[in-house]
Every structure is written in structure tokens, then in C-alpha cells.
Structure 1
Amino acid sequence: MKQYIFTIILTAAITFCLSWGVWRLSLKYKLYPGIRERDVHKNPTPRLGGIAMFIGVVVTFAVSSQHPYFALFWADPWPIVAILGATLLIVVVGVLDDLIDLDWMIKLGAQFLAAGIIAWFGKLQILSLPIGGMTVWSSWVSFTLTVFAIVIVMNAVNFIDGLDGLVAGVVLIANIVFFAYSYLLLRDTGSSTYAHLASFIAAVLIGVCIGFLPLNWSPAKLFMGDGGALMLGLLMATSAVAITGALTPSAINPDSPDGFGRSQILGAFIPILLPIVVVLLPLLDFGMAVVRRMGAGKSPFSPDRKHLHHRMLDMGHSDRDAVLIFYAWTAVVSLAVLIMYIGTTADWPGLYLAGIAFGLVGAAACLVVTFLPSRRNVRRLAPEVVP
């Protein structure tokens, strides 16, 4: 565990220093766009934080290559080379979009290319499905599922990048839970080491978000831009795909004597369900945006001001309150499923039920807070309504 703690601290320190440098240089050379109609912030703010975040990721990967503890996943360096190459591609395209506003088809094509690099050259693909321990029946099906999963998560994370500290905080919480899950999964599957690529990527993402948040917290001095948001989504999806390699068909088969969930209904599904749940809110926003825009005869990637965080602002929440509510939703949903997973693998039905209860109570509390904004915030938006 101490190796992962070192990874988090190192990544956070590098990212913070580089983010501060990018912020200062952006201000000096006026590398920031004007205010767009859909923007929430009022002052022009640099959007090049993704550059600092990417360099932080690369440096940490380079350091890990010299550490004996991580030698296992460096024994075959091609998956890491593919991940970093795909990440470089998506950051370059994202930064260009932040500076000159690329056509959405170019961005989408780059996303599919980056996902294809990881799935094809990196050989990181979804191999098992939680349906009776089913393996994916075709290499092309596995490749296609993986590419689409990565592209969807990339866009889902990017779509919620609209408020100060929102994406960095949501990704931070999600990856803390995912790191705990991947660490426990390696233990439960009898792995001889905890040095796994999925856990390492999650630790790197935790460090990146910790290092970037001080400059991105409201009022933000620096935005991560499309380059940073797409990078976070790409790496999150890659770590989720990578962890499926630790899942044998028997492990997710409820009929197998070695499988999970012999006494719980959802037990066999949790190992694959949790990586999806940690990005549930971004996925929900992404799905709603695609349906809304296509229903209006527009491109699914045409920007608008109707995302979930925009709707929360219209309901009367302040920027910070809306961000904190997103944090709460992410924590409640992901922690509930993690608790259920622990209860399942430890064969503790009580803990499994506690996870369900925590999720229901937490969701109810989040609903109340979401739909009942404070009188102070309602008065700020419409003083004539609240005397």
C-alpha cells in the first residue's frame, strides 16, 4: 500500500507545481478564450490545465518503471506505451479544441482512434461479462465493446465539466472507491501481488485530481479544458477495462463454487457493476444530453446549457452547492456498491444489506438536498419570489 501512497503524493505534487506554472504562463501570454454563452464563469480563465495533468501522469509512469514493486506490469511495456500514446493524442486534440474550437467530428474521430490504440496495440479489452461467467465470444466483439466503452466514458466525464472543481472532485471520489475495489478484488481473487495496472492508474488519477483541485476550486484560476477532462475519462475507462483481466469466468459465475454472490442476488454482477457505477452521474448526464440534442435534430455533441449542473443552478443552487451535491451523489452510489461487494465476497449478508440501506438513505438525502435549494440561493436568483 505504501507504494501506492507514494504514487499519489508524487503525482499530486508534480501536478500542482505544473498547474501553477501553466496558470502563470497562460496569464502572461493571454492564452485563454473569451466567455461563451453557456459558460458559468464571468471572467476569462485559462483552459490548459490538461497539459499539466498529462505531464504529471507521464512523469509518474516513468518513475514507476524504475520501482521494483511495479515491475510486474512493466514486464510487458506495450500496454503502457499504448495508454500513454492514446492519452497524448487525446490531450493534444483537447487542447487544440480549447484554443481554436475544433469540429466535433474531428474530436470524436480522435476519441475512437485513442480507444482503438488502447484496445488493439495495448491489448486491453473487455473479456468477461457477468452473465453466467460468460466470456466475450469474439475478439472483434471484445474490441468493439472496449472501444465504445472508452469513448462513452470519455464523453461522459467531459460533459459534466462545467463548474469549478466539478470534474476533478467527482473523478477523485470515484477513483478512491475504485482503487479500494481493485485492491480488494486482487486479494479476493488470490493474486500474488497488489501491483496491478488498474490500481496504479486509479492511484495516479487520485494524485492528479488532488494536485489540480487547489487551482480549480471555486473561484477557479485554471480549467482542465477538454484536454484534461477527456484524459481523465480515458484513463478511468482504461483502468476499469484493465481490471476485467483479474476476473476469471468462474469468479463472476454465481453457479461456480469459487464465484461471488452465491447468497446475494446481485453478487455476481458487482465486480463489473462497480466500475460503471463510479461514473454513473456523468453517464446519466451524457445519455440525457444525447437524447435531448438528437430529439431536437442537432448533433449529439452540439454544446448547450441544459446539463445537470446547469439545471441545478437554474433551480437556485450556488455553484459550490451544486458541485458538493454532485460529490455527495458520487460518494453515496459508489460507496453503497463497494460495501455490497465487500459483504458479498466476505459472505456477510448483514454488510450487504447495510450497503443497500446506505445507498437508499443516502440517495433519499441527496434527492432532498437536490430539489430543495436553500432560501438564500433562491433569493439570490429571484428576490421577488422569496420576500
Structure 2
Amino acid sequence: MKYYLLAGAIAAVVSFCISWLVWKLGVRYGWYPKVRERDVHRTPTPRLGGIAMYLGVIVAMLAAWFLFPSIAGTDYFRLVFSEPGRVLAVLGGATIIVVLGVADDIWDLDWMTKLAGQIIAAGILAWQGVAIVSLPIGNTLGVGSSYMSLIFTVLAVVLVMNAVNFIDGLDGLVAGVAIIAGGVFFLYTFFINRVVVQTEFFFNLPSLLTAVLVGACFGFLILNWHPAKLFMGDAGALLVGFLMATSAVSVTGNIDPAAVQTRQALLPAFIPILLPFAILIVPILDFGLAVTRRLSAGKSPFSADRKHLHHRLLDMGHSHFHAVLIFYAWTATVAFGCLLFLFVDWYWVVAFVAVGFTVCAVATFAPLGRKRTEIAAQTANRSAAVVDASLDPLDRAANDRTIPGDIT
């Protein structure tokens, strides 16, 4: 565990230091675009924080690969790097995504170019074996042919990348959601490998990637917290989605769901597939609604608008800070709800999720109740004013006169 924490700490320190440098250079040399109509912020802000997050991930991964063996005297991550092609595919795909994102942040690329780059990055993963290779369906664990594995992997990675990118509209939103979701996912892989399956694969690629990603997001979040000094941009949001999806699909090749099922229950066997999508339920919901909305209007599914869920929360009357906390709460409720299936009976999980959803729903829709109260009060005041104006002077004076009561 301590070496995962060390890798995450390295990513956090590098991400913070580079974020600070990018922020200073961005302010000095004007490395920020004009404020767009759909943007929530009104002050031009540098948006190349994804570069800092990327470098944090790269440095931490290289440290675990080459530096940790000399520090510890034992190569705890030997299984992770025993197949260098898989690791290089992850780092290469991440590099493609970041270069693509930086180019989009600077020149605003068209959606077809961005989608093509995302497919290439996901295809590299599948080509090197970082792919969905098993599904807990029926009596078989395979997904079919290698072509089916490629298709499933590309679809999953591209979906998660764009879902994460779509919610990147509030300060600290994506980084915070990634920390919560990544933390839960790391606990899941830790528990499954160390306690349930009891394999040597405790030091594995999904856990290392998740620890490094959480660290990079934490280091960046310091400068991205509201009011943000630096944005991660498309480079950072796509990188977060790419690494989260990579961790998820690689789990399907590392954990035999049948082993989980025989030791726990039926549902935990599905968690390697369900958990990544469950913890991203809000981004995926936003993505689905946006695609449906834009296609219905005859637009590109990747065309920008100001109708995302975070925009709707602000329009409902939430403050910037409260809207972010609501996203955190929904993410945490779903994520920990899925994780609890490994530890307690299903009815306790249902109770936890029901209470969590109720609290989140009340917090989400609270401004609507306040608005209705304010509207009712304003309507009552206007009605009273109209009635008062309709009275003649003598009646108005009679209404205003105070009649003292008897004192006993």
C-alpha cells in the first residue's frame, strides 16, 4: 500500500508544481482564450492544466518502473512492468490524448478530428492487450473474438473520455469527481486482489494507474478549486477519462469474475464492469442527454451548448460551490453503494443508496422550493398592493389605523 501512496504523492507534487508554473506563464504571456458565452467563469483563465496532470502521471509511472526497485530493494511492481508493451500503450495513448487536447484548447479542433484521435488512442490500448477480455455473462467469461474485444474497448474508452469531458464546466468538478471515483475504484481492486482472490497481483496496473491519477488530480485541484486560477482544459479532462477507462478495462483481464462470485455473491462478479460506469453515472447521464438533445436538434453530438447538468444546477439557483458539492455527493453515493456490495448484504446497500439518493435529491431541488416560496410571497405582496390601491382614502386610513386592545 505504501508504494501506491508514494506513486500517488509523486504525481501530486509534480502535478502541483507544473500547474503553478503553467499558471504563472499563462498569466504572464496570455495563454488563455476569450470567455465564451457558454462559459460559467467571466475572467479569462489559463486552461493548459492538463499538461501538468500528464507530466505528473508520466513521472510517477517512470518512478515506479525504474526508481522504486532501487529504493525498496524489491521490485514490487514487477508484474506491472513485466509486459512493457501494455504500459507503453497506456503512456502512448495518454500522450496522444493530451496532444490532441492541447491542440483543441489552442485551436478549437472540429469534433471529427478529436473523435479520430480518441479512437486511435483506444485502439492502441486494445492492440497491446489492455482491453475488455471477459464479461460475467452466462457460463462463459469471454467477449468473443479479438475483434469484439477491440470494439468493446474502443467504445468504452471513447464513451468515458467524452462523458468526463462533458462535465468539465465548473471549478474543481472533474478533478474532485475523479478523486472520489478513483479512490473507490482503488479500494475495490485492493480488496479483490488482497482479500477475495488472494493473488500475487496485488501490485497491478489498474491499481497503480488509479493511484497515480488520483495523485495528479489532487495536485492540480489545489489551483483549480473555486475560484480557479487554472483550468485543465480538454487535455486534462480527456486524460482523466482515458486513464479511468483504461483502469476499468484492464481489470477485466486481471480478475476472474468467477473467483469473486464463488467467494462472495453473484453481484460482485459484475462489479469490474458495473463500477466504472456506476461511479461515472452523472457524467454518462449528462453525455447521453447532450447527445440526444443535439441530435434531435439536427446538430453534431459534439457541438457545444449551455444545457449541461452543471449549467442547469446554476440556473436552478445553486451557487458554483454548491453545484460542485452536489456532483460530489451523487458520485460518492453511487460509488460507495457499489463498493458496499463486497462487504454487507444487499438490503443494507439498498438502504444506504436510498438514503443517499434522498439527501442528494433534496439538496439538488431545494432552490426550486425556495423560488416557489419567493414567487408566492411576491404575488401576495403585489395582490395586497393592488387591493390597497383600489381603496378610497378613508378606507385606506381605516386599514392603517391601529386599534389598541384591552389590558387586563
Pairwise same-fold verdict (TM > 0.5) = yes
Name structure 1 gaps, 5 residues minimum: 344-348
Q: 1:183 to 1:378 in 2, by over 3 A?
A: farther
- The superposition leaves residues 73-114 of structure 1 with CA deviations (integer Å, 9 ceiling, x where unpaired) of 111111111111111111011111111111111011100011
Structure (1 or 2) with the greater helix fraction: 2
Displacement, 1:9?
1.3
Residue matched to 2:206: 198
Matched, 1:127 2:121: no
Of the candidates 250, 253, 256, which is equivalent to residue 245 of structure 1? 253
Residue matched to 1:162: 169
Of the candidates 342, 347, 352, which is equivalent to residue 358 of structure 1? 352
Q: Which protein shows a greater Rg?
A: 2
Residue matched to 1:346: none
What pairs with 1:17-28 in structure 2 (closer than 5 Å)? 17-28=17-28
Q: Match of 1:159, as an amino acid?
A: F
Residue matched to 2:389: none
Q: What is the number of residues matched between the two proteins?
A: 371
Matched, 1:369 2:370: no
Structure-2 separation of matches of 1:199 and 1:379: 49
Structure-2 separation of matches of 1:97 and 1:372: 37
The SS at the match of 1:251 is helix
The SS at the match of 2:273 is helix
Q: Which moved more, 1:135-144 or 1:217-226?
A: 135-144
The percent identity for this pair of structures is 53
Residue matched to 1:223: 231
- The superposition leaves residues 112-147 of structure 1 with CA deviations (integer Å, 9 ceiling, x where unpaired) of 011101111x21111111212431111100110001
Residue matched to 1:58: 58
Displacement, 1:379?
11
Structure-1 separation of matches of 2:85 and 2:322: 43
User: 1:128, 1:247 within 8 Å by CA — same for their partners in 2?
Assistant: no
Of the candidates 247, 261, 268, which is equivalent to residue 265 of structure 2? 261
RMSD: 2.1
Structure-2 separation of matches of 1:39 and 1:227: 17
Displacement, 1:193?
3.9
What pairs with 1:88-127 in structure 2 (closer than 5 Å)? 88-120=95-127, 122-127=128-133
Structure-2 separation of matches of 1:63 and 1:385: 65
Name structure 2 gaps, 5 residues minimum: 69-74, 382-408
TM-score computed with the length of structure 1 as normaliser: 0.91
- The superposition leaves residues 168-208 of structure 1 with CA deviations (integer Å, 9 ceiling, x where unpaired) of 00011000000000111112122124100000011011101
The SS at the match of 1:130 is strand
Q: 1:90 to 1:377 in 2, by over 3 A?
A: farther
Structure-1 separation of matches of 2:263 and 2:289: 35
Show structure 1 runs of 4+ deviating over 4 A: 374-380, 383-387
Residue matched to 2:151: 144
Structure-2 separation of matches of 1:260 and 1:113: 38
Structure-2 separation of matches of 1:315 and 1:166: 18
Q: Match of 1:191, as an amino acid?
A: T
